[in-house]
Structure 1
Amino acid sequence: MTKRFVQIGGVCRIVAGELNVKKMKSQMKAAGNALRAVLRGVFGEGKPADRILSGFFRENRQYGSRDRQFVSESVYALLRNWGILRRFLPEERRAELESGTIRIGRAELDALLFAALYLEGMNLPAADLLAKELGIPWPKPDPDHPSPFLAKAEALGRAFGTKLCFTDRDFVPEWVFSLLPGDFPAERFLADLRRRPPMWLRLQSPDVDRIAAELRSCGTKLLRQARIPNALGIVNPKVNLYTLESFRRGEFEVQDLASQCIGLVAAPKPGERWLDTCAGAGGKTLELAELMKRSGTVVACDVRAYKLDDLRARARRAGFPNIMTRAWDGKPFRGKQAGQYDGVLVDAPCSCSGVWRRNPDGRWTLSPEAVGEAAELQKKILESAATAVRPGGVLVYATCSLFPRENAEVVEAFLAAHEEFQLEVFAHPLTGEPCGGMLQIYSFDGDCDSMFVARMRRRSGGEEEA
């Protein structure tokens, strides 16, 4: 297998021999087919990209692990940079594609694929091959541009025969900024949207060093969080983590660092009785049960009862004795269930704007109307869930949203209607600094997702009478 190095436009790229070219062409064809399926599913059917991609691989089992990696990296590179790439399309084609009418040719797909790979600086031999086949000159960024990334985007435009200027605001729809707070750190947040996030693990074993050593032996680079010793970040994992013995023994779960902070704010104590009302697949349920040192009880419920199947399997794998599951109709708790829990967690369904870095397609399928609808649903869920909190107990409200309408405004409306609840000060899990009862975690706080959490305490009977 022969290789030679070519210096073009200040970028050193590897150009592979004939065997590599054949392999790359096969991978690029697979990536193109996956891109077509993802664009159709995301814009035409409103499905999440990760679910579409999983279905694509199930239907195309002939692809090996390296092929799947190339396809996945290509798809997410395109989605992360869609705010830039969409501007290279004629306006009518862009509107047609984003309305769900997907008629996109091979050359157009290849051009988008080349642009995505070039912008992210990944798989450059494949990008070089695409550029040659499409007759696109290799882009030469302006070395004096204040933003190296935007310089690449504008150089790409020139290679495509256009003169476009870009800003970081291109990475999200313009309407988003009208729903963000005035002091929102847009520059830092938007810069994060261009980068792939790490994968965070939450260890369910006290033997952190042994598990870390196992992960490093697989060629994995680890990140550590100073204040959360059982949180390990993994950058570009080189192995399928679900095949490791430590995972099979239930010694770790994949859970983003910001998500882990929600359980730490809840701070359940051993022997208590907690309720996780929107448990879903149960990541936070498992965390609560672990923080309680596997004593007491965590009852997990969800209006989508089928979601709890995953939680039950995860709890069995790790041997949790203190987790129960129960269906919930979303209505207030009455009778024996009313006011019986030391703590209630409401991890409410939301716009998911805080996980756009991980799920970049969500930026382009969300609407401002959907944010308002989510806020109304969140208010109803919080009202219903609060009836389960005992006097003196804790109520924790969380979302993975950036919008105050889904966060502080929901909490403030609830508190205005329920004088028996009040905000309770807690420490920021990542810094130790005191928070006045509400906290917005941003991606740059810990190289993680963005999440909101509020901690409230229900006054005891004596306090209410006073």
Structure 2
Amino acid sequence: MRLHRNLCFSVIDGLTLIFNEGHYADKVIQQLLKRDKRWGARDRAFVAETTYDIVRWKRLYAEIAEVKEPFDRDNLWRMFAVWATLKGIKLPDWKYFEETPTRKIKGRFDDLSKIRKFKESIPDWIDELGAKELGDKVWSKEMEALNEQADVILRVNTLKTNKEKLQEELFDLGFETEILPDYPHALKLKERANVFTTDAFSNGFFEVQDASSQLVAEFLNVQPGMRVVDACAGAGGKTLHIASLMENKGQIIALDIYENKLHELKRRAKRNSAHNIETRAIDSTKVIKKLYDKADRVLIDAPCSGLGVLRRNPDAKWKLQPDFIEKIKTTQQDILQQYSKLVKVGGQLVYATCSILPSENQEQINTFLKSEAGKSFTLLKDKKVLSHQSGFDGFYMALLERKE
């Protein structure tokens, strides 16, 4: 591979914003890709994937390069040189790469790869927390899996098409996909590609949604004609899946504290032809109280640490702080206590997170079931999805039923 100066400069500019100014990696990369209209698909892929790679391996590369935060541009070029050397890319004769110690880089990599917090490039506290909650052996396997690049998974919108038809249409457009046997509405792209520019996407035939995330709506046991509340709907990835499972029959009430996310959900619902979704911003407790004892199904896709989705959000491990984990666990229990009141007798509730920590998952359910609000609920089943076992994002989901 030959390195091109303008592409490398874009990566360095992006890393400056992500590491030194706290910008989110996905937003930075979106902006970088708009820099030069002359860039082709390979150029854009280089900028995106290289930026994500260096973000993912920040701690390891900084340690090898012997640089510390905040990183100035010379530091970032040294980290870039580490990335290129470990990828086997010949460094061009640029001033940024003068006296790059290629042999030393490889030796340092070999030495540091024996220590998990460097090998998997994670903060000490996350390494300690993961090992404590999952055990050393499982945590090592899980972190290795969470550092792999995520596949692009599509969820077929069955309100408009089916898996076979979509697969044929995408093939005709030059996108090869494969069916995932245990995921009824999923297609996996054989090669990473920008599918958002296709007519199939603009016509609402599919959404991009990880395979593990697709399990959540299925877990909710919805039927056409039900009243369903998605209590933390956000921009509505799971809401739209629920609408397709309900065949547009019945009512879905999508709640969120952020009105701008619900606006995005409305836009996506229109594209998906999902007509049974009503959005309600939670601007007071009245919004929740009006729904007490009214829902056949309630989905609580709870805010969480996001440790199960580090493959697609590698910068999250550098932004997370220990006190956030403690605060979010309090929030999770509060949400369970409040939104469980929406379930009618005989109705069911799913609590889900994209975390792999038992303290955010099974332990939250156990605490809830022992509480006054949880006494009328029974745990029917739960599912723990780990990346090193599934090949997809880490997730947890629990199905509870409200008894008399």
Report if TM-score (shorter chain) is over 0.5: yes
Do residues 443 (structure 1) and 387 (structure 2) align? yes
SS of the residue corresponding to residue 401 of structure 1 reads coil
Q: 1:291 to 1:156 in 2, by over 3 A?
A: same
SS of the residue corresponding to residue 320 of structure 1 reads coil
Counterpart of 1:311, as a letter, is L
What corresponds to 2:27 in structure 1? 51
What corresponds to 2:162 in structure 1? 207
User: Quick check: 1:221–1:237 contact (8 Å CA) kept in 2?
Assistant: no
TM-score when normalising by structure 2: 0.89
Q: 1:274 to 1:308 in 2, by over 3 A?
A: same
User: Quick check: 1:198–1:233 contact (8 Å CA) kept in 2?
Assistant: yes
Q: CA deviation at 1:353?
A: 0.8
Residue among 387, 393, 399 paired with 1:455: 399
Q: CA deviation at 1:55?
A: 3.8
Do residues 83 (structure 1) and 59 (structure 2) align? yes
Residue among 387, 392, 412 paired with 2:346: 392
Do residues 179 (structure 1) and 129 (structure 2) align? yes
Counterpart of 1:40, as a letter, is N
User: Quick check: 1:420–1:458 contact (8 Å CA) kept in 2?
Assistant: yes
Identity %: 29
Q: RMSD across aligned C-alpha pairs, in angstroms?
A: 2.6
How many residue pairs get matched?
A: 394
Do residues 169 (structure 1) and 143 (structure 2) align? no
Q: 1:334 to 1:82 in 2, by over 3 A?
A: closer
Residue among 111, 135, 144 paired with 1:191: 144
Q: CA deviation at 1:164?
A: 4.7
Mark the runs of 5 or more structure 2 residues left unpaired by the alignment: none
Alignment of 1:279-298 (within 5 A): 279-298=233-252
Query: Radius of gyration: which is bigger?
Result: 1
What corresponds to 1:413 in structure 2? 367
Q: CA deviation at 1:176?
A: 2.1
Output the CA distance in 2 between the equivalents of 1:187 and 1:63: 42
What corresponds to 2:202 in structure 1? 248
Counterpart of 2:375, as a letter, is E
What corresponds to 2:260 in structure 1? 306
Do residues 119 (structure 1) and 83 (structure 2) align? no
Q: 1:445 to 1:222 in 2, by over 3 A?
A: farther
What corresponds to 2:227 in structure 1? 273
Q: Deviations over 1:45-67 (max 9, x none)?
A: xx421123334445x35562443
Q: 1:334 to 1:251 in 2, by over 3 A?
A: closer
Q: CA deviation at 1:138?
A: 4.4
Residue among 10, 17, 24 paired with 1:37: 17
Alignment of 1:107-146 (within 5 A): 108-120=75-87, 124=89, 127=91, 133-136=97-100, 138-139=102-103
Q: Deviations over 1:31-89 (max 9, x none)?
A: 222222222233xxxx421123334445x355624433221111111012123112125
Q: 1:164 to 1:402 in 2, by over 3 A?
A: closer
Q: Deviations over 1:276-322 (max 9, x none)?
A: 01100000000111111221111101011111111101110111121
What corresponds to 1:64 in structure 2? 39
Mark the runs of 5 or more structure 1 residues left unpaired by the alignment: 1-13, 141-152, 425-436, 461-466
User: Quick check: 2:348–2:402 contact (8 Å CA) kept in 1?
Assistant: yes
User: Quick check: 2:257–2:281 contact (8 Å CA) kept in 1?
Assistant: yes
What corresponds to 2:107 in structure 1? 155
Q: CA deviation at 1:403?
A: 1.6
SS of the residue corresponding to residue 83 of structure 2 reads helix
SS of the residue corresponding to residue 124 of structure 2 reads coil
User: Quick check: 2:232–2:254 contact (8 Å CA) kept in 1?
Assistant: yes
Output the CA distance in 1 between the equivalents of 2:329 and 2:313: 21
What corresponds to 2:318 in structure 1? 364
TM-score when normalising by structure 1: 0.78
